[in-house]
Amino acid sequence: MNWFKNANKNIVSRIKSILKKHPFCYQLLDYYNIPITDIDDHLIIEIIDLKGGFAAGNGKKIFLDKKLFNNEFFKENFHFVIHEFFHWIKRRFENNFYFNDPEEVQSFVLAITWELINGKNKEQIKKSIYPIIKEHYKNKKNLNEDFEGMFKKALELCIIYKNRIRDF
């Protein structure tokens, strides 16, 4: 059985090598800001019996059915890997950046708007809401710019709100 584990390990190494080196895969990683090192550090590929399925994933692992592996796997069946690889990329992208979800951004904009409506100024809001936003950033490079964008949208909503209240 040891030969089977070694064979699987070699196949997984070859799959990861293709995912890291092929220009198509590299462009996908680059587009979603996923470091190429994440393939070795975070992608787990298992070859198992999927009992009728061909490939599956759960955001952390890619499962490939044993029946895919014949002499033509890399030529005829690699598309199963690419399909699951994209799901893995999207999950990493979502996990790496909480604010990829527009609902989260809008929720913070509304929280800032609420504070403005209730008389707080930007400095007060920066003390109360900014730290919460900051906690969700792994790479703080765009933090200030994103906060300013949220604050600007909140100001716009505040103006709309105040104009509607005046009209009543």
- pLDDT band, residue 12 (cuts 50/70/90): very high
Q: Do 7 and 63 lie in a common domain?
A: yes
One domain for residues 14 and 86? yes
Identify whether residues 122 and 152 lie together within a single domain: yes
| Whether residue 104 sits in one domain with residue 52 | no
pLDDT band at 168 (very low <50, low <70, confident <90, very high): low
The string of DSSP letters for 51-92 reads TT-SEEE-SSEEEEEGGG-STTIIIIIHHHHHHHHHHHHHHH
Q: Which domain covers residue 124, as residue numbers?
A: 99-167
Q: Does pLDDT of 95 surpass 60?
A: yes
Domain co-membership, 125 together with 70: no
Q: Residue 54 sits in a domain of what CATH number?
A: 3.30.2010
Give Cα 142 distance to the centre of its chain.
16
- The kind and range of the H/E element at 146 are helix 143-167
In this structure, are 89 and 12 located in the same domain? yes
Tens digit of each residue's pLDDT (9 = 90 or more) over 123-149: 999 999 998 888 777 667 778 888 999
Please give the model's pTM, rounded to 2 decimal places.
Answer: 0.58
Residues 119 and 155 in one domain: yes
**Mean pLDDT, range 144-161, rounded to an integer:** 90
pLDDT tens digits, 71-80:
888 898 999 9
The tally of domains found in the chain comes to 2
| 9 and 50 fall within a common domain | yes
Say how far apart CA 43 and CA 12 lie, in whole Å.
Answer: 10
What's the distance, CA 108 to chain centroid?
A: 19
